[in-house]
Amino acid sequence: MPVGLLSSLSGFLKLTSKTDIDSPVSKLHHNFTTLILLCFCLLLSASSLIGDPIQCTFNDHPLMKEDMIKTYCWLHTTFTLPRHYKGAGQIYPGIGATTSNGEFVYHAYYQWVPFVLYLQAIMFYAPYWLWKMWEGGVVDSASTDLAAPVMNKEELKGKIEMLGDYLQASLGQHNKYAMKYLGYEALNLVVTITNICVMDAFLGGKFISYGTKVFSFAQMEDEDRIDPMIMLFPRMTKCTFRAVGPSGTTEKLDSLCILPHNILNEKAYLFLWVWLWILLVAGSFSVLWRCIVFFVPFMRINLLRNYTHGLNNNETKALSTYLSVGDYFLFYLLHKNVSRLAFTDLVRDVAGRISSRDSESLEMGDKVRKDSKKYHRMNSPRPTPSGGLWT
C-alpha cells in the first residue's frame, strides 16, 4: 500500500509547469521539498494505518482491556522521565519508577506528524503558486514559437522579428515583473526559516539542535552517551491509566507502551533537518546573487553575453544603455526556454533595433539643429551701412 501511494504521486502531482520560469534553487523549494514532505506524510500515515501505531502492556485487571488501554494511551499521550535517560540498571532510556515530584516529558506529537508534514508541503508550494499567478504566462507565450525543435531559417526569422517587435515596444516596462520574482525568491527563504521554527516548536524546542546532537553522538564517551533520537522519538514510553473499581475507588495503573513508528519518525526528521539547513544556505545565496545581478548593471550585461554566442561592442553598448532590470530578467527567462542559437538571434535583433533607433534619433537631432540654425540666420536682424539695424 505505501509503495502504491508513493508511486501515484508522479501522476497526481503537477508541481512544475512546462515552461521554466524560476531558478534551480527555487525548484528545490517548490518541487523537491514539496514532494519529499508529501512522501513522508503518506509513508507515516500508511505505517499507522497498516500496523498498530502503539502497543501497550496491561495487567490482568478486570477493568483493563488491551484495546482500551492502547486507545487511551494513544489519545491521551505517553511520557518519559528525563532522570532515567541514563544510569545503571535502567530498563530503557526514560523509563523507570514514577514519583510525584519527578519531571515528566509528554509525547503528543506523533498524532499530528502527518498533518504537520502536509501543511509544510503546502507552505513550500505556495510561493511558486503565487509566482505563477504573478508571472501570468508571459514567458510561455513569448517562448512557445521559438521552442520548436525543428524550424527553417525563414520561419525562425519571422518569429524572432515578431517577438522583437514586442520587446522593443515594451522596453523598460518589466521592472515590476522582476521585482515580483525577487519577492518570490525572498518568500522561499522566509518559508524555509518559518518551517525550521515551526518544526522546532512542534517537537518541543529540540529540532534545531537535533541533527547536531545525532551526528556528535558517536563521538561521545560511553558514560555520557544518550541517544538524541531516543530522547526526541522514544520507542518505549510510559502511560498512566486510572481505573474506577466497583466501589468507586480510583486505581492508578502503570503501562509500558511501544511506539514502533518512531523508528520512521526519527529518520524522516533527521533527513528534514539536514535538508532544511541546506535549503536555508542555498536560498540565502540565491537571494543575495539575485540582488547583485539586479542592482549591478555590468553583471547583467556580462551574464547576457554568456547566454549568447557573443555580442559585438555596439550591440553590448546598446543593450547596456537601454535594457532595464525587468528587460534583462525577461531575457534571462527566455534563454532558459529556447535554444541558444535562437536566443542569440533574438538578442541581436533587439540590439539592432535599439541601435537603429539611436541612429534615427541622432539624424533627427542633427536635422533639427540644422533647421534651427538656418531659421535663426534667416530671421536674425541685419546691420545697415550706417551702423543701424535693418528692420
Q: Which tens digits make up the pLDDT trace of 128-177?
A: 999 999 988 888 888 776 766 566 677 777 888 888 888 888 888 889 99
**Domain contains 57:** yes
Q: Which domain holds residue 216?
A: 2-335
Q: How far apart are CA 259 and CA 45, in angstroms?
A: 14
User: If we measure between CA atoms, which residue out of 279, 201, 235 comes closest to residue 28?
Assistant: 279
217's grid cell: 553522538
Find the farthest-apart pair of alpha carbons in the chain and give their distance in angstroms, rounded.
141
% of the chain exceeding 90 in pLDDT:
25
**Domain contains 156:** yes
pLDDT confidence tier of residue 272, bands split at 50, 70 and 90? very high
What is the rounded average pLDDT of the residues 228-256?
77
Of the ranges 57-61, 86-90, 121-125, 335-339, the best mean pLDDT one? 121-125
- Other Cβ atoms less than 10 A from the Cβ of 226: the count is 14
Q: Which residue has the cell 536555508?
A: 280
Asked if the model's pLDDT at residue 7 lies above 90, the reply is no
What is the rounded average pLDDT of the residues 177-198?
94
> Does residue 39 contact residue 6 with C-beta atoms inside 8 Å?
yes
User: What region does 211 belong to: left with phi over 0, alpha with psi -120 to 50, or beta?
Assistant: alpha
> Does residue 238 contact residue 24 with C-beta atoms inside 8 Å?
no
Give the pairing type, strands 236-244 and 250-258: antiparallel
**Domain contains 367:** no
**Domain contains 273:** yes
**Domain contains 373:** no
**pLDDT at residue 102 in the model:** 66
**Domain contains 347:** no
Per-residue DSSP letter, 389: B
Give the pairing type, strands 105-107 and 236-244: unpaired
> Does residue 241 contact residue 63 with C-beta atoms inside 8 Å?
no
**pLDDT at residue 382 in the model:** 53
Count of domains for the chain: 1
**Domain contains 288:** yes
Angle at 284 between CA 283 and CA 289, to 5 degrees: 95
What is the rounded average pLDDT of the residues 238-245?
75
pLDDT confidence tier of residue 375, bands split at 50, 70 and 90? very low
**Domain contains 303:** yes
- Decide which of 88 and 270 is more confident: 270
